[in-house]
Amino acid sequence: MTSTEARGEDSDLGGARGVLAAAQAWRADGRSFALALVVEAEGSTYRKPGAFAVIAARGERRGALSGGCLEPGVEELALHALESDAPQSAEFDTRGDDDVVFGSGSGCRGRMRVIAIPVRPDRSSPLYDCIVDAMEQGEALCVALAIEGPEHGLGTAWNATSEIQIGTTPAMSAPLAPLRGLARGRHRMVLQGRTTEFALFHIRPPLRLLLFGAGPEASPLLRCARTLGWFTVIADHREALLMPRCLPADRLLCARPPAACAALDPLQFDAAIAMTHLASADLDALRALAASSVGYVGLLGPPARRDELLAQLDDASRAALGGRLHAPVGLALGGEGPGAIALSIVADLQRHLAERA
């Protein structure tokens, strides 16, 4: 069994991972930038709480918080944060008639609050650093930030195992502990003796996808996944099919499904798809995935083939797959060929990801 780390150009990488890849490169080059983070949204807005972009001192950016209509304002906010070396927040409100005529002109009718936090190469930035860690570990992050008054930009963040103070000390943030039990949204808490409005939101990690089979639809599927910023691993025992140049996955693994599962720990994945075009290999994959807790198990191929494969599994495996099995995998969009199949699979995975949120 061989394994290859095969990353494409960072410019191809989208989603939150693409934003952080650019930010990490700036940081390595000793450049400052602002992390612009959506902390509240109401009505129709392009992005939702937890979305972020990064903007460097010369106005370079990666990521978008709107379709373009609000970006000049976001950039202005980010540059203000960099110049003042302090968090800055602003509300972008497109609900009024004045905005349609004089403002963004978007007509979206929504409200979004953005906080811009300076990140400098010569010092740590607790919120930025813990977002990077969470994305790398594939963990969701809960964040509570003060959005008004002298404490704005301060707060706390936590995941299943740890808590991080953002500009506060453990003693200062102790009164914020009840936030852990509250729903996303705005909450009033006491910080440093003052009642302060907090925005509580989640930052979701990218979808983690495991593919069994490097057939013709793997390449367009992985390209789409990379554009969306998903973390991907592809496993196939046919060495000739595992061509890194054509398969922009985070990792390529030359192994049959049972060996791949043993090497990878399927627990780390949100979704896995059996798409080897070989009945025996797909059956091996289904058997291995039945024993895992991967939430979405896809099987490529027609219903009759699915039924034949399921008939070869034991009762316990069939029961274990239960409602997790999506077969035939993909949304019924119509069309044929590798590109259309890849699109239908990506579309269904995106639906699954959105429902999970």
Contact footprint for another protein (CB under 8 A): 72-73, 76, 97-99, 101-105
Cα 57 to Cα 243: distance, rounded to the nearest angstrom: 39
Quick one: 77 or 346, whose CB is closer to another protein? Answer: 77
Cα 277 to Cα 271: distance, rounded to the nearest angstrom: 18
Hey, CA dihedral for 258, 264, 268, 270, is it positive or negative? negative
Helix (H, G, I), strand (E, B) or coil at 326: strand
Q: At closest approach, how far in Å is the CB of 32 from another protein?
A: 23
Q: Greatest CA span in the chain, whole angstroms?
A: 67
Helix (H, G, I), strand (E, B) or coil at 340: helix
Q: At closest approach, how far in Å is the CB of 99 from another protein?
A: 8
From residue 135, give the alpha-carbon distance in Å to each of 55, 85, 319. 19, 25, 33
Q: At closest approach, how far in Å is the CB of 78 from another protein?
A: 13
Quick one: 28 or 101, whose CB is closer to another protein? Answer: 101
Quick one: 106 or 156, whose CB is closer to another protein? Answer: 106
Please identify which residue in the block is written with the tokens 């004089």.
Answer: 102
Quick one: 73 or 328, whose CB is closer to another protein? Answer: 73
249 touches 187 (CB < 8 A): no
Q: At closest approach, how far in Å is the CB of 98 from another protein?
A: 6
Residue 96 has what DSSP assignment?
S
Q: At closest approach, how far in Å is the CB of 356 from another protein?
A: 35
Quick one: 60 or 97, whose CB is closer to another protein? Answer: 97
Using N-to-C axis directions, what is the helix angle for 279-290 and 303-312, rounded to 10°? 60
Q: At closest approach, how far in Å is the CB of 75 from another protein?
A: 9
DSSP 294-313: -SEEEE-S-HHHHHHHHHHS
Quick one: 105 or 302, whose CB is closer to another protein? Answer: 105
